[in-house]
């Protein structure tokens, strides 16, 4: 029960802080480096016709690399602090059978099933 609640909460947090704001954030970055806007209406901003490619490329790589670095640091932090974490109280099972005393399994033929709907081979 707690696992399903925690997985649902995790999905909610990922949607809230990553999936939903991502297009807004990256759209802001692209809009920042627009040189020429297409304006079909005088009071409305249209789509971008020309980007400043060099700084746009630099900022895209820096921002993406920075976010990946933050994620890597967070992963290393979690791995370091969770290395001795026990999620369940499991004990090692001790086998009482000696592996050298493996019993031989003998396969025996199964009894034939008689079904009135299936004709016998002799009658065909």
What pLDDT does residue 16 have?
93
**Domain presence at residue 90:** no
pLDDT at 33: 95
User: What pLDDT shows up at residue 114?
Assistant: 65
pLDDT digits (tens, 9 = 90+) for 98-116: 665 666 666 666 666 666 6
What was the pLDDT predicted at 102?
Answer: 62
What pTM, to 2 d.p., does this model score?
0.56
List, for residues 30-52, the tens digit of each pLDDT value.
Answer: 999 999 988 888 777 788 999 99
Torsion sign, CA atoms 43, 45, 46, 52: positive
Whether residue 113 is contained in a domain is answered as: no
| Domain with 35 in it | 27-81
Higher pLDDT, 122 or 81: 81
Structure confidence by residue, pLDDT tens digits, 74-84: 999 999 998 88
Alpha-carbon span 59 to 70, nearest angstrom? 16
Q: How many domains does the chain have?
A: 1
CA distance 120 to 114: 9
Kindly tell me if the per-residue pLDDT of 54 is higher than 90.
yes
Higher pLDDT, 110 or 9: 9
How many whole angstroms from its chain centre is CA 93?
32
115 domain residue, yes or no: no
Lookup result for tokens 């609640």: 5
The answer to the question of residue 52 being in a domain is yes
Q: What is the pLDDT of residue 76?
A: 96
């Amino acid at each position: 029960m707690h696992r399903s609640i925690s997985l649902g909460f995790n999905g909610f947090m990922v949607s809230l802080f990553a999936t939903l704001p991502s297009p807004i954030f990256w759209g802001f970055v692209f809009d920042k480096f627009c040189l020429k806007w297409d304006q079909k209406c005088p009071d409305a901003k249209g789509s971008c016709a020309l980007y400043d490619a060099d700084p746009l490329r630099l900022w895209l790589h820096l921002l993406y690399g920075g976010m990946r670095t933050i994620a890597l640091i967070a992963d290393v932090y979690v791995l370091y602090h969770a290395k001795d974490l026990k999620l369940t109280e499991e004990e090692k099972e001790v086998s009482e059978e000696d592996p050298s005393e493996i019993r031989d399994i003998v396969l025996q033929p199964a009894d034939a099933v008689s079904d009135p709907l299936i004709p016998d081979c002799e009658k065909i």
